[in-house]
Structure 1
Amino acid sequence: MVRGGVLRVAVVGGGPRGTSTVERLLAVHAQQQPVAHDAAGAPRVAGGQRLEVTVYDPYSPGPGKVWRTEQPRLFLMNTQSFYPTLIPSEPGLAPPLAGGSFDEWRAAQREAIDAGACTLSSDEQAELKGLEARDFPPRPLYGRYLTDTWAALLAAAPTGVTVRHVAAEVARVGRTPHGFAVTCVNGRAQEADAVVLALGHVPAGLGREQQALAAAAGRLGLHYFPPAAPADVDWDQLPAGETVLVRGMGLNFFDVMAALTEGRGGRFAEGPDGRLEYTPSGREPRIVAASRRGVPYRGKAELDAYYAPSVRLRWFTRAAALAPRAAGIQPSFDQDLWPLLHRDTLWAYYSTLARVEPGAVADGFLDELSAALAVEGPGWEQRASRAAHDGVVSARRLDLRALGSPLAGWHAHDRADLDARVLAHLDEDAAGSARGEDDPVKMAIAALHRGRAVLKEAVADGGITEASWVSGMRGWFEGLVEGLASGPPALRIRQLAALVRAGVVSTVGPEPRFSVDRSGPAFTASSPWVGGPDVRARWLVEALAPANVIARADSSLVAGLLADGLVRPRFLAGADGVPQPASGLDVTVPPYRALDVNGLPVEGLYVLGLQLSAVQWGTAIAAEAHPFAAPGEANDGAPYPSGQRTLRDADAIARDILGRAGLMQDAGWPGG
Structure 2
Amino acid sequence: MVRGGVQRVAVVGGGPRGLSAVERLLAVREAQGAPGTTLEITVYDPFDPGPGKVWRTGQPRLFLMNTPSFYPTVIPSEPGMAKPLAGTSFDAWRAARRDAIRAGQCGLGPEEQAELSRLDASGFPPRALYGRYLAETWQAILDAAPPDAVVRHVPQEVARVGRTPHGFAVTTASGRAREADAVVLALGHVQARLGRDQRVLAESAERLGLTYLPPAAPADVDWDRLPAGKSVLVRGMGLNFFDVMVQLTEGRGGRFSQRPDGRLAYEPSGREPRIVAASRRGVPYRGKTELDSYYAPSIVLRWFTRAAALAPRRAGIEPSFDQDLWPLLHRDTLWAYYSTLARVEPESVSEGFLARLDEALAVEGPAWEPLAARVARDGVAPARRLDLRALGAPLSGWHAQDRSDLDARVLAYLDEDAAGSARGEDDPVKMAIAALHRGRAVLKEAVADGGITEESWVSGLRGWFEGLVEGLASGPPALRIRQMAALMRAGVVGTVGPEPRFSIDRSEPAFTASSPWVGAPEVRSRYLVEALAPANVVAQSDSALLSGLLADGLVRPRFLAGTDGVPRPSSGLDVTAPPYRALDVNGQPVEGLYVLGLQLSAVQWGTAIAAEAHTFAAPGEAHDGAPYPSGQRTLRDADAIARDILGLGA
Following superposition, the deviation at residue 480 of structure 1 comes to 0.1
Structure 2 residue 207 is the aligned partner of structure 1 residue 214: no
TM alignment of 1:171-570, pairs within 5 A: 171-570=159-558
* Matched letter for residue 81 of structure 1: S
Percent of pairs identical after alignment?
81
Are the aligned partners of 1:17 and 1:621 in contact in 2 as well (CA < 8 Å)?
Answer: no
d(CA) in 2 for partners of 1:314, 1:634: 15
SS of match in other structure, 1:149: helix
Specify the alignment match of 1:17 in structure 2: 17
- 1:42 is matched with none
Whole-Å separation in 1 of the counterparts to 2:608 and 2:544: 25
User: What residue identity is the alignment partner of 1:30?
Assistant: E
Give distance in 2, aligned partners of 1:560 and 1:210.
Answer: 24
Q: With the length of structure 2 as denominator, give the TM-score of the two structures.
A: 0.99
Q: Take 1:635 and 1:383, find their aligned partners in 2: how far apart are those partners?
A: 34
Please report the RMSD computed on the Cα atoms of aligned residues, expressed in angstroms: 1.0
The amino acid that maps onto 2:29 is: H
**What is the alpha-carbon distance in structure 1 between the residues aligned to residue 111 and residue 567 of structure 2?**
52
Runs of 5+ unmatched residues, structure 1:
36-45, 660-666
* Displacement of 1:242: 0.4
Moved >4 Å (runs of 4+): 631-637
Give the deviation of 1:641 after TM superposition.
2.8
Contact 2:611 2:635 in 1 (8 A): yes
User: In structure 1, what residue type is equivalent to 2:451?
Assistant: G
Q: Distance in 2 between matches of 1:84 and 1:301?
A: 18
Aligned to 1:38: none
Q: Distance in 1 between matches of 2:96 and 2:380?
A: 50
Residues 135-166 of structure 1, C-alpha deviations (whole Å, 9 max, x = no match): 00000000000000000000000131000100
Question: 2: CA distance between counterparts of 1:634 and 1:373?
Answer: 24
The change in CA–CA distance for 1:334 and 1:631 in structure 2 (over 3 A counts) is: farther
2:633 alignment partner in structure 1 = 645
Instruction: Specify every segment of 5 or more residues in structure 2 that has no aligned partner in the other structure, as ranges.
Output: none
In structure 1, the residue matched to 2:85 is: 97
Structure-to-structure mapping, 1:572-591, within 5 angstroms: 572-591=560-579
* Deviation digits for residues 19-76 of structure 1 (CA, Å, limit 9, x no counterpart): 00000001000001x23xxxxxxxxxx4x31100000000000000000000000000
User: 2-side partners of 1:523 and 1:552: how far apart?
Assistant: 25
Residues 266-310 of structure 1: CA distance to partner in whole angstroms, max 9, x if unpaired? 000001111000000000000000000000000000000000000
CA contact (8 A) 2:279 2:500 kept: yes
> How many angstroms apart in 1 are the aligned matches of 2:84 and 2:345?
48
- Matched to 1:21, the amino acid is A
Encode CA deviations 1:91-119: one digit per residue, 9 max, x unaligned: 00000010000000000000100110000
Whole-angstrom CA distance in 2 between matches of 1:477 and 1:327: 25
Q: Which amino acid aligns with 1:188?
A: R
SS in 1 for 2:450: coil
CA contact (8 A) 1:243 1:539 kept: yes
Once residues 80 and 297 of structure 1 are traced to their aligned partners in structure 2, the CA distance between those partners, rounded to angstroms, is 17
State the match for 1:161 in structure 2: 149
Counterpart code for 1:589: A
In structure 2, what is the equivalent of residue 29 of structure 1?
29
Task: For residues 444-481 of structure 1, give each alpha carbon's deviation from its aligned partner in whole angstroms, at most 9, with x where no partner exists.
Answer: 00000000000000000000000000000000000000
Post-superposition offset of 1:628: 4.1
Give me the whole-angstrom Cα distance separating, in 2, the residues matched to 1:632 and 1:208.
50
**Partner secondary structure for residue 589 of structure 1:** coil
**How far apart are residue 630 of structure 1 and its match?**
3.6
Q: Distance in 2 between matches of 1:549 and 1:8?
A: 29
Q: Deviations over 1:145-198 (max 9, x none)?
A: 000000000000013100010000000000000000000000111000000000
- Segment drifting more, 345-354 vs 548-557: 548-557
User: In the alignment, is the contact (CA less than 8 A) between 1:314 and 1:632 conserved in 2?
Assistant: no
State how far apart, in whole Å, the 2-side matches of 1:623 and 1:282 are: 41
Contact preservation (8 Å) 2:69, 2:91? yes
One-letter code aligned to 2:22 = V
Q: Deviations over 1:490-541 (max 9, x none)?
A: 0000000000000000000000000000011100000000001110000000
Aligned length: 650
3-state secondary structure, aligned to 2:646: helix
TM-score, with length taken from structure 1? 0.96
Listed one character per residue, the Cα deviations across residues 361-418 of structure 1 (whole Å, up to 9, x for unaligned) are 0110000000000000000001100110011000000000110000000000000000
